[in-house]
Amino acid sequence: MQNLLDPAILFFVFGVFAGAVRSNLEIPPAIAKFLSLYLLMALGLKGGFALSQSGFGAQVGVGLGAALTMAFVVPLLGYAFLKRHVSRFDAAAVAASYGSVSAVTFVTAMQFLETNELAYGGHMAAAMVIMESPAILIAVLLANRLRQQAAAAVPAGVVVNGGGAALAGGPGATGAASPLSLRKVLHESFTDGAQMLLLGAMVIGYATGDAGKAVMQPFSGDLFKGMLAFFLLDMGLMVARNFSSVRGKSPVLVAYAAVAPFVHASIALALAALLGMSAPDAALLMVLSASASYIVVPAVLRYAVPEANPSLYFGLSLGVTFPINMLIGIPLYTSLAVRVLG
């Protein structure tokens, strides 16, 4: 209930309401992009300042190792389940979205911890970056394998053309549309502007330490809550606009989008307990594991896995999982982490 009374969360709820009643309220795209860049820059600075105080100890290695582990576990589990209910290309794409992370969910969780005076490690911002790309890599490898299997199943003298087949040399035999190469996909993933800004801000925050923190306090501290509320208003409007993309989808997929976050968070909590992570760091690991990407991964998968249906991996992550994590997940994950790990 405390999370629902947070002004930033209330602005998110208000945005959903405004969008649901078809209000003409909107945030101009340029401003929305600025808010996104601001939050990433402020998050990176906060992480860097925290790291400059704590240093690089065993706790940092444990946290990053746990994040990397979850980055592989979540998409592989998702694919194993989803391939029995949808096409394997769709399964790979949806699993990749859920194996990656939502920066907005993470930023909101970080603010929730600060409001409740729970000190987390600055390295968890780097953990978010680490968890972004492995799921994309897995999706691309799975898609390439599926294409190879499909090509091997086509009789000699027939080439795949788009979604069907044509006789070699015959009408319409223009060959398959070649997807992005694995190298290009990985380059786009690792050089994505959002990730580079976050990492760059972390390095700057770490290098400048307490002096930099004092100078940047009005920017990365005082303004942060208001900027987050403004951005969550825009996210609420976007969620409302994407409700229609979830309608008509398989009940199994909708159930996956609703239940999977709690399953992934439970696995993350068990791993955190096994590794002896602190409760705030474990809460952030749970949030990262439970979130789903609706920006970076869909943008890459649209070209890397063109066989998949974008309305599935975008609509489910934004229309179902994102609001569940914002309204229920973050306080629940934090409460469980504190109860289990103290």
For the segment 107-132, what is each residue's pLDDT rounded down to a tens digit? 899 989 988 999 888 888 888 888 88
Asked if residue 172 has pLDDT above 60, the reply is: no
How far is the C-alpha of 193 from the C-alpha of 215, rounded, in Å? 25
Give the domains, in start order, of the chain with CATH numbers. 3-145+189-341 (1.20.1530.20)
Instruction: Say which residue, 70 or 296, is predicted with more confidence.
Output: 70
Beta partners for residue 159, in sequence order: 166
Model confidence over 264-293: pLDDT tens digits? Answer: 999 999 999 999 999 999 999 999 999 998
Asked if residue 170 has pLDDT above 50, the reply is: no
The chain-wide mean pLDDT, for the chain, equals 83
Average pLDDT over residues 170-183: 46
Q: Going along 92-251, which residue ranges are E strands?
A: 158-161, 164-167
Cβ partners under 8 Å of residue 335, min gap 6: none
User: pTM of the full predicted structure?
Assistant: 0.81
Dihedral Cα 329, 10, 198, 299, nearest 10 deg: 80
